[in-house]
Amino acid sequence: MPPLDQADHGSATTCPYCGVGCGLRAAADGTLSGDAGHPANAGRLCVKGSALGETLGPAGRLGAPQLRQPDGGFADTDWDSALTTVADGFSRIIAEHGPEAVAFYVSGQLLTEDYFVANKLMKGYIGSANIDTNSRLCMSSAVAGHKRAFGEDVVPGCYADFEQADTVILVGSNLAWCHPVLYQRLVAAKQERSDMRVIVVDPRRHATCEIADLHLPIKPGSDVTLFNGLLGWLAEQDKLDRDYIDAHTAGLEAALTTARAAGDIARVAQDCGLRAEDVAAFFEAFAASPRVVTAFSQGVNQSSAGTDKVNAIINSHLAVGAVGKPGAGPFSITGQPNAMGGREVGGLANQLAAHLDIEETAHRELLQAFWGCSQMPEQPGLKAVDLFEAVHEGRVRAIWIMATNPVVSLPEAERVRAALAGCELVVVSDIMAETETARLAHVRLPAAGWGERDGTVTNSERCISRQRPFLPSHGEARPDWWIISQVAARMGFGAAFDYAGPEAIFDEHARLSGYGQAAVPRVFDISGLAGLSRADYDALEPRQWPLPAGADAEFDSARCFGDGCFATSDGRAHFVACTPRPPAVRPDVEFRLVLNTGRVRDQWHTMTRTGLSPKLAAHRQEVTVDLHATDALASGVQPGGLARVKSPRGEVFARVSCSGEMQRGHAFLPIHWNGQTAARAEVGKLIAPVVDPISGEPEFKHTPVAVSPLPVRWHGYALLRNDDADSAHNWLARWGEILPAYWCLIRGEQHLQFRLAGFEKPQEVASRVRALLGAGGDADWLEYSDQTAGDYRAVWLVDDRLEACFYLSARPDLPGTEWLSECFASERLAGNERAALLAGAPSTRANEGPTVCACFGVGRQTIVDAIRDQDLDNEAAVTKRLRAGGNCGSCLPEIRALLADVAA
């Protein structure tokens, strides 16, 4: 990690990963730690937050503005030329084809100030609503559900509700892996209160189920049926809070009519693929708990019926008056660090800033008067999937993509790639130079990265926190708000975008939130933070909204709607009648498995940042397709082997896993791997562009696929010394077409590892290895070959220091690589170690096995040996002995499984 800029604005900042919004402290020596004073995490960090220092170097960074050259390459240019190219291109296309011919696609990775300026330029001054965000892919169903029920996109509760609830229901959320710090808060609360219950509703038996008192492995797409059944049962059992309903809600009877169609418990269980006794236990637990939290995430949102799923959950809470009260309420857990901040400033195509509605005349007029702009779009713009389809069709001729990688993350990813390849003007602002999306740009603009940026983010519980710079900007990188403002000025809008710094943008954002509240009241109001000086902005402590002007120190913003007053026109919460409908695309004879997608524990989005960390690479080194053992057998694949996962839109190569998490008929693939880290691993290629008709959120959790063996003839791996920041990119560029059908890149501490497999004969591969690794004349080149067995090994040494090694076999059961990784730390290898390298087996070095605890680098074999040798019988004893599980705790489910395995 580079040294701190001693002229920084303060050492307290906020993590750039999930929506928990953990605070961090950056020390003068460059180390990062959890901020004990931040309300979200109180000093805790997950492994991704702990490893942030490994991702802050110059590797892969875009250091200067670049323009695409006639030969398809890129050349550095100055900022003025790049900004003028962007402004002139957008202005020309608008003049020729109108404002609907241009678009922005932004990201929950942006700071609120960046988001605000982008939204202002597109909607207020260009006059189009064609600005959408990758938050469309994860949280837009929650937004739509909140607005239908509450009248405004408001999460009613706070994190403390998880700790105060008697029953916590987690729906479509692997909290242990995707929001580890919030999970640890829940674990601690459950340990303190033996009567607290946790119920997990999810098709997979994932790590979060370890703390569940009840797991409902629901059939994908049947969430509305389950919660409709709950609502109908509550009415039948006379469990409704009639006083609350009569005083504060509307629409119950219509919702009940639909809910009763779900039938009795037996029918609900049958339709949801559950046991009747488990459904009954769930219903009874919900009714018996006045303090009940239902937290939901991507498993609910990422669906063609996501909005109805959200409203079916909210209906159940309204029915018992469990909204906005301590320990009670529906809770949407956001996926990105600033998904909430983007919603505050109108980052979605169907929103305006400050929670104003684009289709409401009074709202548009209010915003237009505040900004002093001459135009304002009257209809929503294109949502993400439709936006890129419009690019493909040529209706959108210029697009500016900021801080996101849609060529990997969007459905039907190959069509997105083709759309951008044919687009008249593609502008990409990013910190990384070689993302799949950046490669298709005409103009690449270097954005400031985490640790360099200055602004605010808002987490899942509506808490605004500062991200403060503690590093100098890389190269010529600039903040996104500055880049956007400079383009706006060159388009003729300079007076409206003349910001002295991010504090001026935040002030405008805060003033707008309070502007016109008498005529157009909104819950979102942070006008109490308007007028901050630069010093006050620098010193801003985490604050939840709402925080209206004039609020005193006792103003309680932890929860909303606890008084029964809602943001609807009639002041009541609205029940929404939700009719169950099956997923739009269903399995058939050819594509019989249902594919679910999501995150793994130690990676983030498309790995452009977490992929730089050796610590984070250690846990899950390759993309794996997880199957039920019966489905693996029926598909002709086996654990550890390679498979082709195919849908009607594309195919992905993956290694097979049978973890025990999957039901029969289901498969799981992680979303992270891309063309920079693996061959044919972009899961977006498989996904159909089917979206929720209300929210526009894609169906990522229900894709019919077929799994078949990948008929490779050899397996292998190459480990290569990694001496400079761009070694990975350089190796990929050097190998080019030489790489085999299957490869996956894994970063180690001082080396790069490529897992490999191919269709050629093993002998043919062995003959190319010397050229592949580029061994020089001054190298010691050691080889071993057994053509009968199909084995080949090669080691390249320079002055007795390991530079590279290559292992190939006709069988997939290659020896582990953990001990090889340690060899790269030695400046000189002893003779027995050289022999061990060629033999493919460790000599004196211990083989720890695959990493379980990434925080402390503890391998599986080390844990198993300690359990057996020290007679350890619980995870606390393992932690005391090895530290494993003692930080973020997300490896504790695996440790418990190892304890059970050894005991068995």
Same domain, 358 and 220: no
Buried b (16+ CB within 10 A) or exposed e, 297-325: bbbbbbbbbbbbbbbbbbbbbbbbbbbbb
CATH number at residue 517: 3.40.50.740
- Residue where a domain stops, chosen among 663, 685, 709: 709
Domain-located, residue 191: yes
Mean pLDDT, range 195-202, rounded to an integer: 97
Same domain, 321 and 380: no
Q: Could you tell me which of 324, 343, 357, 153 has the C-alpha nearest to residue 249?
A: 324
Same domain, 281 and 364: no
Sign of CA dihedral 297, 110, 143, 559: positive
Domain-located, residue 566: no
Verify cis geometry, omega within 30 degrees of 0, for the bond prior to 217: no
Beta-ladder partners of 398: 102, 425
Residue 770 pLDDT = 67
Coil, helix or strand at residue 396: coil
Mean pLDDT, range 48-58, rounded to an integer: 90
Same domain, 348 and 386: yes
Mean pLDDT, range 563-584, rounded to an integer: 96
Mean pLDDT, range 162-169, rounded to an integer: 98
Contact status, residue 851 vs residue 862, Cβ threshold 8 Å: no
Average pLDDT, the chain: 92
- Residue where a domain stops, chosen among 680, 709, 738: 709
Which range among 29-43, 112-126, 163-177, 483-497 shows the weakest confidence by mean pLDDT?
29-43
How does residue 364 score in pLDDT terms, banded at 50, 70 and 90? very high
CATH number at residue 244: 3.40.228.10
Same domain, 75 and 153: no
Mean pLDDT, range 338-359, rounded to an integer: 95
* pLDDT > 70: percent of the chain: 95
Same domain, 627 and 759: no
Q: What is the bridge-based pairing of β-strands 398-402 and 443-446?
A: unpaired
Domain-located, residue 463: yes
Residue 724 pLDDT = 63
- Residue where a domain stops, chosen among 303, 332, 361: 332
Coil, helix or strand at residue 487: helix
Residue 901 pLDDT = 82
Residue 813 pLDDT = 75
Domain-located, residue 211: yes
Residue 845 pLDDT = 47
Same domain, 206 and 342: no
Half-sphere exposure of 231 (CA within 13 A, CB side): 33
Q: How far is residue 765's CA from residue 763's CA, in Å, rounded to a whole number?
A: 5
CA 187 to chain centre: 22
Q: 898 versus 456: which is more confidently predicted?
A: 456
Domain range spanning residue 190? 143-332
Q: How far is residue 853's CA from residue 618's CA, in Å, rounded to a whole number?
A: 9
Same domain, 434 and 537: yes
Residues 6+ apart with CB under 8 A from 138: 108, 298, 301, 302, 334, 335, 336, 339, 697
For 751-762, what is each residue's pLDDT tens digit?
888 899 999 887
CATH number at residue 607: 2.40.40.20
Highest mean pLDDT among 488-497, 550-559, 841-850: 488-497
Q: How far is residue 864's CA from residue 870's CA, in Å, rounded to a whole number?
A: 10
Q: How far is residue 420's CA from residue 391's CA, in Å, rounded to a whole number?
A: 7
Domain-located, residue 19: no
Domain-located, residue 100: yes
CA triplet 861, 863, 869: central angle to 5 degrees?
Answer: 95
Mean pLDDT, range 448-453, rounded to an integer: 95
Domain-located, residue 25: no
Domain-located, residue 720: yes
For 692-744, what is each residue's pLDDT tens digit?
999 999 999 999 999 999 999 999 888 888 866 566 666 666 665 567 889 99
CATH number at residue 860: 1.10.10.1100
Is pLDDT of 10 > 50? no
Q: How far is residue 737's CA from residue 198's CA, in Å, rounded to a whole number?
A: 51
What is the number of domains present in the chain?
5
Residue 261 pLDDT = 96
Is pLDDT of 506 > 80? yes
Mean pLDDT, range 374-383, rounded to an integer: 95
Supply 256's token pair.
């009940």
Is pLDDT of 518 > 80? yes
Q: How far is residue 819's CA from residue 845's CA, in Å, rounded to a whole number?
A: 6
Same domain, 601 and 667: yes
Which range among 186-190, 226-230, 875-879 shows the weakest confidence by mean pLDDT?
875-879
Highest mean pLDDT among 422-431, 677-686, 868-877: 422-431
Buried b (16+ CB within 10 A) or exposed e, 100-115: bbbbbbbbbbbbbbbb
Residue 796 pLDDT = 86
Supply 861's token pair.
């074999």
Is pLDDT of 107 > 70? yes
How does residue 8 score in pLDDT terms, banded at 50, 70 and 90? very low
The single-letter DSSP state of residue 572 is S
Does this model's pTM top 0.85?
yes
Residue 2 pLDDT = 40
Q: 566 versus 818: which is more confidently predicted?
A: 566
Same domain, 645 and 770: no
Q: Could you tell me which of 666, 841, 845, 599 has the C-alpha nearest to residue 204?
A: 666
* pLDDT > 90: percent of the chain: 72
Highest mean pLDDT among 23-37, 151-165, 541-555, 608-622: 151-165
How does residue 351 score in pLDDT terms, banded at 50, 70 and 90? very high
Beta-ladder partners of 456: 466
Q: How far is residue 148's CA from residue 574's CA, in Å, rounded to a whole number?
A: 7
Q: 382 versus 617: which is more confidently predicted?
A: 382
Same domain, 828 and 857: no
For 247-268, what is each residue's pLDDT tens digit?
999 999 999 999 999 999 999 9
Amino acid of residue 423: C
Same domain, 160 and 309: yes
